[in-house]
Amino acid sequence: MKKSRVFFILLCLAFIGVSVGRAYQCIFWDIPIRSLLWKEEWMTSVVTNILGLSWEDYLKHPQADSSIQCFVSVLGYLLVLTLIMALIQYRQLLTRLSLYTSFIILTFIAFLYHLEKFQTAGQFFEYSLQFTTPWILWSYLKSGVTKKWIVLVKVAVALTFTSHGLYALGFYPVPVHFVSMTIQILPFSQGSAVSFLFVIGIIDIICSIGLFTRGVFFKLSLWYCIIWGGLTTAARIMANVDVSMMGSTLHQWWYQSMYRLPHFIFPILLYLVCVRQEKGVTEKG
């Protein structure tokens, strides 16, 4: 399929969302980088051989926290820089370098959450749509909508929704914020919220499988991903932003919706591909 302006705009919106959201988090808040830096079995040799410190001195170093926060902020500014470099004007080498750098940073952040949550695979793959966004955008800029591109997007969507579903099902401990957001948005008790999430988890996994089918089941799966992806993206603001404290609560939560924009934008793109294929539009890859 040849390239489409609508596809390009939606891909750029997803990339802007995840880049700005994570950059804002790094610059103004934090990421769980200490789950790596304070992992003794991994870092002892680095601390001893490169920094020349004992593990105890490393943990108690007076400049440790400020240095860590400075590094996290640098990651945020790098995400902003790669965003600007990738989108301000298309240049194959520069754009490719920028998007690959963004991909590495976003994957690193997902890996940190993976470490923080006891190295559970679901925690890492729940961020699949976020850290693959630069890669998917580059693949589109390079070749347009190809069969490989469609498979890449389907896999990223399926991994994200399946991982979310495993948490909702209780395969991993159900996150407290899943339950609290459900209670704050819907008229549910805690028990009802947990039951609701269990059902959602089953649907998440069924629809993830449905992405690799055809016909009605495929379309229903896409619509579910679009709607549920959009609702979970908006839920961070709907459940937590207080009108009486708009400034402070928005500062705390808006970026968490931003970096989830790919969760519903990519299912929309898959739906548009489906519509164009049904209309018999053939485009070169």
Q: What is the mean pLDDT of residues 229-243?
A: 94
Cα angle value 178/184/187 (rounded, 5°): 110
Return the pLDDT at 89.
67
Cβ within 8 Å of residue 256, ≥6 positions away: 21, 25, 236
Evaluate whether residue 170 is within a structural domain: yes
Evaluate whether residue 113 is within a structural domain: yes
- 8 Å CB contact between 198 and 168: yes
Task: From 227, 223, 203, select the one nearest 274 (Cα to Cα).
Answer: 223
Domain count of the chain? Answer: 1
Q: What is the pLDDT of residues 152-165, one digit of tens each?
A: 999 999 999 999 99
Task: From 137, 85, 165, 130, select the one nearest 255 (Cα to Cα).
Answer: 130
Evaluate whether residue 220 is within a structural domain: yes
Q: Is this prediction's pTM over 0.85?
A: yes
Q: What is the mean pLDDT of residues 184-189?
A: 92
Average pLDDT, the chain: 93
Cα angle value 268/224/179 (rounded, 5°): 120
pLDDT at 4 over 90: no
**CA 165 – CA 158 distance, rounded (Å):** 10
**CA 223 – CA 127 distance, rounded (Å):** 20
Evaluate whether residue 285 is within a structural domain: no
Evaluate whether residue 283 is within a structural domain: no
Evaluate whether residue 73 is within a structural domain: yes
Evaluate whether residue 115 is within a structural domain: yes
Range of the domain at 56: 5-278
Return the pLDDT at 170.
93
Evaluate whether residue 125 is within a structural domain: yes
pLDDT at 284 over 70: no
